[in-house]
Every structure is written in structure tokens, then in C-alpha cells.
């Protein structure tokens, strides 16, 4: 799933029709894979950006200065977290804001 996210994250907003068609195909495969995982109880954690840092769901890999987010808030999500039913099986890898300069 991380590879799907990386591929789709690198598609330019103003892509050609051929690249858009490929991106649509990748999204379709990703959605089928998400549905298959959901049947077995796996689901991604909600995006952590803008939420307070929670060590039960987030793994902080760095602290960054941010004008946009207050101290202790997730500013960047590097890798999505996953849960199996209600249990976190992989924490989201994040960068936490340390506030303004």
C-alpha cells in the first residue's frame, strides 16, 4: 500500500491523458486491494496531519518548525499507519511541529 501511495503522490496535477489513464488504473487496483484488506479487518488510520501527536498512533521521526501548526501537532505524515480491527499494527510515521521560529 505504501508503494501505491508513493506512485500516486508523484503524479503531476496537470498530467497528460496517458499518465492520467495510468494513474486511474493504479487507483483502481489500490481500491480493490483496500477492499480486500478491509474484508479481513485491516484499515488505514486517518490522516494524522493537523492532529495532536499521539504516541499510541504516531511514531515521531523528526521535529520541524512550522508557522502553520502549533507545537505538538503532526505537521507531516511520512507513512500511513494501519490497524487490525481496533488495534494499531503499524503507527503512522510523522514529523511533529515544534512551533514557530
Q: Which of 2, 10, 6 is nearest to 34 (CA)?
A: 2
Map 31-46 to HEC letters. Answer: HHHHHHHHHCCEEECC
State pTM to two decimals. 0.80
Nearest one of 97, 96, 88 to 56, comparing CA atoms: 88
Domain ranges (residues) in the chain: 1-40, 43-101
Its CATH architecture, for the domain 43-101, is: Roll (2.30)
User: What is the distance between the alpha carbons of residues 93 and 97, in angstroms, rounded to a whole number?
Assistant: 13
pLDDT along the chain (101 residues), means of 10: 90 84 92 96 92 95 93 94 96 93 72
Amino acid at each position: 500500500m505504501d508503494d501505491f501511495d508513493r506512485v500516486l503522490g508523484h503524479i503531476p496535477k496537470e498530467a497528460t491523458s496517458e499518465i492520467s489513464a495510468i494513474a486511474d488504473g493504479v487507483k483502481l487496483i489500490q481500491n480493490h486491494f483496500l477492499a480486500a484488506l478491509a474484508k479481513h479487518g485491516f484499515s488505514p488510520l486517518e490522516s494524522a496531519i493537523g492532529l495532536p501527536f499521539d504516541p499510541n498512533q504516531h511514531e515521531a521521526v523528526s521535529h520541524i518548525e512550522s508557522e502553520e501548526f502549533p507545537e505538538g501537532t503532526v505537521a507531516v505524515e511520512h507513512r500511513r499507519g494501519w490497524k487490525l480491527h481496533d488495534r494499531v499494527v503499524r503507527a503512522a510515521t510523522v514529523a511533529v511541529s515544534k512551533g514557530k521560529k
